[in-house]
Amino acid sequence: MAKLLLEVLKPNIITNLNQTEINYLSKLWVEKLPRHIAIIMDGNGRWAQKRMLPRSAGHREGANALKRTVEFCAQLGIKVLTVYAFSTENWKRPKTEINLLMNLLVEYLQKEMDALCKNNVKIITSGKIEELPRDAYAEILKAKSVSKNNTGLILNVALNYGSRDEILKAVKEIAALVKDGVYDIEDINYSLMEAHLYTKGLPEPDLLIRTSGEKRLSNFLLWQLAYTELFFTDTLWPDFDKKDLLEALLSYQNRERRFGGLK
Ligand code: FPP
């Protein structure tokens, strides 16, 4: 029997929602929720600029939006949330902004780890985390280790991540294995490629959300997004809230996914 999300959520979650959010929830079916949501969290700078604030204020509010979104996804029963926190191209930004983003990450993990664990969230990462500043790297390793036995939402943080880098890494690893005689060229298939991506073992994203009105993928999960449903919103990331997520879920629910086949 199909179940409405509203019927299965804990009462304390529903009491914290406003009428608009409840209206959205009353249209969502549990069986039609995406298992894996990926988000390009864009628009922190513009959010700050609109308020004549420094870009740092936008990133700080962005971290709050991330906290809200992780919590809500965990409550809704989403299995995997992948967020694009720092790309291989973000190193082109001024040193001060890079430092700020790294410090925010450390602060976020230090402040939120208890709550994340209480919500049964497991932290994993995608990207070359070993190239991050030492304190950020250490904090991430700690967060991954502390949360490794959690069984709820998997929060996959893409850090120093670039999809082309990831695909090259997979190709080189597989080429080395072929050279060593572990595989024949004929053994190379989708599942072998996927076993060499950072997202190994995760289901493919069902829904990709990009905020701030930009409509591009920016080197994010190019392999994994082959059949993902895309949702673009003008909301700037720091303003992204429950209503925005529910709107994206409703849009996703009404899509017809054919994966190249027929209805
Ligand atoms: C895009 O905004 C956002 C980022 C480059 C990084 C995302 C970072 C956060 C959400 C901050 C907190 C992160 C963690 C992991 C605690 P932008 O600066 O490109 O915005 P703009 O396009 O308006 O300038």
Average pLDDT across each block of 10 residues of the chain; the chain has 263 residues. List them in order. Answer: 90 93 95 98 98 98 98 97 98 97 97 96 98 98 98 98 98 98 98 98 98 98 98 98 98 92 83
pLDDT at residue number 262: 84
**Which amino acid, one-letter code, is at 30?**
V
Assigned domain for 185 exists: no
pLDDT at residue number 107: 97
**Residue 107 is part of which domain span?**
34-162+204-252
Q: Rounded distance, CA 115 to CA 252, Å? A: 29
42 included as an active-site residue: yes
Q: Ligand 1: which of 39, 40, 42, 68 to mutate, most ligand atoms within 8 Å of CB?
A: 42
Q: Ligand 1: which of 39, 40, 41, 125 to mutate, most ligand atoms within 8 Å of CB?
A: 41
Which pTM does this prediction carry?
A: 0.97
Assigned domain for 148 exists: yes
pLDDT at residue number 1: 81
Residue 59: which CATH number?
3.40.1180.10
Assigned domain for 197 exists: no
Give the residue whose CA is nearest to atom 3 of ligand 1.
42
254: left (phi over 0), alpha (psi -120 to 50) or beta: alpha
Assigned domain for 83 exists: yes
Assigned domain for 126 exists: yes
Assigned domain for 174 exists: no
pLDDT at residue number 228: 98
Assigned domain for 182 exists: no
Can you give the chain as a three-state secondary structure string? CCCEHHHHCCHHHHHCCCHHHHHHHCCCEHHHCCCEEEEECCCHHHHHHHCCCCHHHHHHHHHHHHHHHHHHHHHHCCCEEEEEEEECCHHHCCHHHHHHHHHHHHHHHHHHHHHHHHCCCEEEEECCHHHCCHHHHHHHHHHHHHCCCCCCCEEEEEEEECHHHHHHHHHHHHHHHHHCCCCCHHHCCHHHHHHCCCCCCCCCCCEEEECCCCCCCCCCCCCCCCCCEEEECCCCHHHCCHHHHHHHHHHHHCCCCCCCCCC
Counted domains in the chain = 1
Assigned domain for 38 exists: yes
107's tokens: 């602060």
206 included as an active-site residue: no
From the CB of 61, is ligand 1 less than 6 Å away? no
Q: Rounded distance, CA 178 to CA 170, Å? A: 12
